[in-house]
Chains A and B, each alone.
Chain A
Amino acid sequence: MFERRITRTAVPALVLVVLILGACGSNGGTEDTGSSDAAGAATAETLRIGIMSEEGNLTPHTYATGFPGLNLTMLSYDSLMQADENGEPQPWLAETVESSPDGLTYTLGLADGVTWHDGEALTAEDVVFSVDYYKAGPPGRFATAMANVSQAVAQDESTVVLTLGVPDPSFEIRVLADVPILAEHVWSGITEPDLAPFDETTNIGSGPYRLVESDPGVSYSFEAHPEYFRGEPKVDELVVVQFADEAGATAALRSGEIDTMMRSISPEQIDVLRGAGSLDVVEAPEYTTTLLVFNTAVAPFDQAEFRRAVALAVDRQRLVDDVFLGAAVVGNAGWVHPSSQWYDESVETVYDPEAAARLLDDIGLTDSDSDGIRELDGASLSFELLVASNNALRMRLAELIGEQLGEVGIGVEVSSVEMQTLDDAVWPGYDVAQGRNYEMSMWGWSASSQADIGQMASLVSSDPAIGNLNVTGYADPETDALAVELDTELDPTARAEVADQLQQRIAEEVPFVSLLHPNGAYGYNPDVFGDWVSITGSGPMTKLSFIPDDGQP
């Protein structure tokens, strides 16, 4: 009978042991004594890359995730322009890009000698076809981008004229440098691109790599396109292997099973991997943002003074040091990443809890019952701070912010919830017009929200058509006016001026608190390949890393 009793406790015990063993996996470590070459190999025959997400079929219509899915897809496809190391759009498939003074017409001269993977030439007809195909196709990132293009005409073999519905100062970065061009002879027969059969015939792009083997959920294999118009790619073959989680992929990287991974490693792993001997880490600032957002309809978040006090009470440097171990850039009060060309240096980001306390006193939020928490109309000033439970670092940030706000007398209760629950509360239906149902939340936007300065308007405008990312429900006439100007100003100098004004306005009004930008940190084996090319804000895991020096944009 002892057995029966043991069995009952043994089941969970066994489960726990298995879980823990599974997690430690490769605990032995691979202590390689050989010192690594800092520069790293500039060419390679095969590079094995680990990913951690299910990516589906890698076509412009069926890729699953923005990163790394779209980055992998774009290995086989090209856009008309390409972001360079500074994140600036540069001529690519289109050798010349000329816009009319009114910003409504773009004349594109295509590069010579560009061929599809099957040997056919890429012509102006393909570009026109792509525009029309995206516009007629199912909704998606590229259909949205193309929505503003009212007409595309092939003037001759290598010249395309695009006509826009309304002028868009971000057209180059948001559309030309983003949308992959499709081969007419491949896609014209496909009526339902989302369900397109995925095989060698639909795998034709013009990019530096051709997808030769695809087993979604397991692995992908890419072969270099030797006739690539920008020169032969630096690595002959890319093998992309999917892992269940970061721990598994990190273990594989340490044991030499893979050479790099398309996932930024967590800050505490940076020194560990560097110390492993055979590995190195390429670290670069990324535009991904981490924000503290609040519902501006909830009192007293409707008062700019209160929001400013919250921003003053948050010690961003401490968050960077304690949670990210320094591997992050302190968020700027004016939203824009300090590495961005649009960054306005005059906007100061200040941590001053005493000033915060004074501000709170001034607007009548005082602690009358001396319990350490201020009161608003007799009720204690306390808020629920939501955080997604699948993001350990953000949970730690939330805890620290709770402590820091507690020091100035604002009560914070951190609740960890499922990611979907959080999205439903903060951004129901991914449509800000549907309102919001939360008090405070940890939040973040992807790198593209910073790469295109025009997106700044979408964060703060109260008009849902412009402010489609305004999850705090913030509304202010002066800010709205600046947002409209940013969205329409075509002159680059004038636009930079508007961007500066809007940053100052954001710093003053605090529609949200920009906390920090985690740096991208990618572990790799420099003996195999180490000649990474980082795009400011988006990191090194793009096709630029595989394009030879003389072919760089």
Chain B
Amino acid sequence: MTARVITESAPEPQIVLRRSRVSGDRTRVLGVIGAVIVLALGTVAVLAPVLAPYDPTERAGTPFSPPSAEHLLGTNDVGQDLLSEMIYGTRVSLTVGIVAAAAAMVLGTVVGLIGGYFPRLGAVAMRGVDVVLILPFLPLLIVLAAYLGRSIVNTVIIIAILIWAPTARVIRSQVLSLAKRDYIVAARSMGAGHGYVIRRHVLPKTLLLAIGEFVAATSGAILLESSLSFLGLGDPLQESWGSTLYWAQARGAFLTPAWKWWVLPPGLLIMLSALGFALLGYALEQRINPRLRRS
């Protein structure tokens, strides 16, 4: 049995080496770019109090001022420094993105594991996944947000509810194929319990995949958080990029020259963070996902 385990895990590096050099390089470059973006944003989030010139809740200047030496991105409708708001907004956006994606990963992995390991139960569970997958995204998001009320916790819950389904599918197909492998059949026939097999053999081989899914889902979660906040369905009193856009819209910045410093920066930051996580997730998945790896 030990021997089998080794042969099962050994081919991985060989398969990676067999891939075409060009496509591997490209994946790596994209992955590095994504990692750099994510790391940079993470650093900004952690060092926000050091980097931000003002407290984002403090009314530091005249409302609606254009960019100046004191306020590099100007101020918003109540005189809060927009640059500081962007910097602190990184915290909210990343936290919501990561926590929601993590919750979705846990939910998706559990459903995927059970669904793949117990095929009959899985057939039922997967119909539930299908339902979540075909639900129209934004209307459901709006209904849920209106129903649950506005708070950052609810935002996380709503996003997690909407994005766990694809993870469950990917994990399930991996578990389905794992569960039929010889060494697992052998372990089962030697009397190993379900719990033991899942913990010892199945989970370790799906966890990596789940992490890849998680990184990619973070990108979607950040965008969803921004959409919700922009629509005023998040907590408008939380300083996230989306709520900065919400206030810009509510106070008419879209119709005045202020869009250049009030709308563009949060928009670009949302794009950048989504791109960073998407690239990183793509690169990770190319390496981890067995179906992609063999193609």
Residues of A at the B interface (CB closer than 8 Å) are 1-2, 5-6, 8-9, 11-13, 15-16, 19-20, 23-27, 29, 247, 250-251, 254, 266, 268-269, 272, 322-323, 325, 389-390, 392, 395-396, 399-400, 414, 416-418, 421
**Of the candidates A1, A12, A400, which one forms a contact with B137 in the assembled complex, judged by CB atoms under 8 Å apart?**
A12
Is B146 close to A, CB under 8 A? yes
Max chain B C-beta neighbours (<10 A), residue from A23, A390, A417: A23
Contact for A12 among B78, B150, B227, CB less than 8 A: B227
Q: Are A395 and B236 in contact (CB under 8 A)?
A: yes
Whether, in the assembled complex, B49 has its beta carbon less than 8 Å from a beta carbon of chain A, the answer is: no
Q: Tell me if B223 counts as interface (CB < 8 A to partner A).
A: yes
- The 19 listed contacts between A and B (C-beta, < 8 Å) are A1-B289, A5-B282, A9-B219, A9-B220, A9-B223, A11-B220, A13-B274, A16-B226, A19-B227, A20-B263, A24-B254, A266-B251, A322-B63, A323-B78, A325-B64, A392-B250, A416-B150, A416-B236, A417-B149
Nearest opposing residue in chain A for B149, CB measure:
A417
Q: Per a CB cutoff under 8 Å, which of A6, A12, A268 touches B224?
A: A12
A389 touches B254 (CB 8 A): no
CB distance from A394 to the nearest CB of B (A): 11
Q: Are A16's CB and B223's CB within 8 A?
A: yes
A399 contacts B274, C-beta separation under 8 Å: no
* Chain B residues within 8 Å of chain A by Cβ, number: 49
**Could you say which of A1, A25, A251 has the most chain B C-beta atoms within 10 Å of its C-beta?**
A1
Residues of A within 8 A of B230 (CB): 16, 19-20
- Whether B166 pairs with A8 at a CB distance below 8 angstroms is yes
A416 to B271, CA, bound (A): 27
Interface residues as binary, B215-232 with A (CB distance below 8 Å gives 1, 0 otherwise): 011011001101100111
Considering the chains assembled together, what is the distance between the CA atoms of A494 and B57 in angstroms?
50
Residues in A whose Cβ lies below 8 Å from that of B67? none
- Say yes or no for B278: interface residue by CB 8 A criterion: yes
Q: Is the CB of B237 within 8 A of A414?
A: yes
Question: Interface on B for A, CB 8 Å cutoff?
Answer: 59, 63-64, 77-79, 137-138, 146, 149-150, 166, 216-217, 219-220, 223-224, 226-227, 230-232, 235-237, 245, 247, 249-252, 254-256, 259, 263, 267, 270-271, 274, 278, 281-282, 285, 289, 291-292, 295
The dominant DSSP class at the B interface is helix
Please name 7 further chain A to chain B contacts, defined as beta carbons within 8 Å, in addition to the given A16-B270, A272-B255, A392-B236, sorted by A numbering.
A1-B289, A19-B231, A24-B254, A24-B255, A24-B259, A251-B255, A325-B64
Identify the closest chain B residue to A321 (Cβ): B63
Give the residue name and chain of the A residue nearest to B278 (CB): A9
A20 touching B267, Cβ below 8 Å: yes
Does A12 lie within 8 Å of B64, measured CB to CB? Answer: no
* B residues near A26, Cβ cutoff 8 Å: 255
Q: How far is the CB of B21 from chain A (nearest CB, A)?
A: 18
Is there an interface contact between B267 and A269, defined as CB atoms closer than 8 Å? Answer: no
What distance in Å separates the Cβ of A442 from its nearest Cβ neighbour in chain B? Answer: 13
The smallest beta-carbon distance between A367 and chain B, in angstroms, is 21
- Contact assessment for B251 and A247 in the assembled complex, using a CB-CB cutoff below 8 Å: no
| Contact of A400 with B255 in the complex, beta carbons under 8 Å | no
Q: Would you call A399 and B78 a contact (CB within 8 A)?
A: yes
Shortest CB–CB separation between residue B231 and chain A, in angstroms? 7
Q: Whole-angstrom distance between the alpha carbons of A15 and B220 in the complex?
A: 12
Residue of B nearest to A275 (CB): B256
Grouping DSSP codes into helix (H, G, I), strand (E, B) and loop, the A interface class, with mixed when no group exceeds half, is: helix
- Contact between A399 and B63 (Cβ–Cβ < 8 Å)? no
A26–B216 alpha-carbon span in the complex (Å): 35
Partner of A418, one of B63, B146, B231: B146
Enumerate chain A residues within 8 angstroms of B291, measured Cβ to Cβ. Answer: 1
Residue of A nearest to B226 (CB): A16
Complex Cα spacing A458 to B114, Å: 63
A15 surroundings in chain B (CB, below 8 A): 137-138, 223, 227
Known contacts A5-B216, A12-B137, A268-B64; A389 and B232 CB within 8 A of each other = yes
Closest to A1 in B: B292
**Residues of the B chain whose Cβ atoms lie less than 8 Å from the Cβ of A323:** 77-78
Distance in angstroms between the alpha carbons of A392 and B271 in the assembled complex: 25
Nearest B residue to A24, CB-CB: B254
Chain B residues lying within 8 Å of A5, measured Cβ to Cβ, are 216, 278, 281-282, 285
Measured in the bound complex, the distance between the Cα atoms of B137 and A11 in whole Å is 9
B137 cross-chain contacts in A, Cβ below 8 A: 11-12, 15
CB distance from B102 to the nearest CB of A (A): 17
Residue pair B274, A400 in contact (C-beta under 8 Å): no
Give A250's nearest chain B residue, CB to CB: B255
Give the CA-CA distance A399 to B235 in the complex, in Å: 13
Q: Is the CB of B274 within 8 A of A9?
A: yes
Q: A16-B223, A322-B78, A395-B237 are in contact. Are A27 and B59 (CB under 8 A)?
A: no
Known: A399-B237, A416-B236. A9 touches B255 (CB 8 A): no
* Docked pose: A25 CA to B249 CA in angstroms: 12
- When distances are taken between beta carbons in the complex, the residues of chain B under 8 Å from A2 are 282
From A13, A27, A395, B254 is in contact (CB under 8 Å) with A27
Of B220, B256, B267, B295, which one neighbours A272 at CB under 8 angstroms?
B256
Closest to A396 in B: B78
Q: Is the CB of B255 within 8 A of A27?
A: yes
A417 to B147, CA, bound (A): 11
Given A9-B278, A266-B251, check contact A325 B236 (CB 8 Å).
no
Taken together as a complex, chains A and B put the C-alpha atoms of A390 and B249 apart, in Å, by 13
A9 to B273, CA, bound (A): 12
Question: Which residues of B have CB within 8 Å of A24?
Answer: 254-255, 259, 263
Q: Write the nearest CB–CB distance from B15 to chain A, whole angstroms.
A: 16
Q: Given A12-B223, A268-B77, is A389 in contact with B236 using a C-beta cutoff of 8 Å?
A: yes
CA distance A6 to B274 in the complex (A): 11
Nearest-neighbour CB distance to chain A for B108, whole angstroms, equals 13
CB neighbours (8 Å) of B236 from chain A are 389, 392, 395, 416
A479 to chain B, nearest CB (A): 35
Q: Which residues of B contact A11 (CB under 8 A)?
A: 137, 220
Of A9, A250, A390, A396, the contact of B232 (CB 8 Å cutoff):
A390
Closest chain-A Cβ to B288's Cβ sits at a distance in Å of 12
For the complex, what is the distance from the CA of A13 to the CA of B137, rounded to whole Å? 12
Asked if residues B220 and A12 are in contact (CB atoms below 8 Å), the reply is yes
Q: Which residues of B contact A27 (CB under 8 A)?
A: 254-255, 259
Complex alpha-carbon distance, A322 and B64, angstroms: 10
A13 and B227 CA atoms in complex are apart in Å by 9
- Complex CA distance for A13 and B267, rounded to whole angstroms: 11
**A417 and B150 contacting across the interface, CB-CB below 8 Å:** yes
A538 to chain B, nearest CB (A): 25
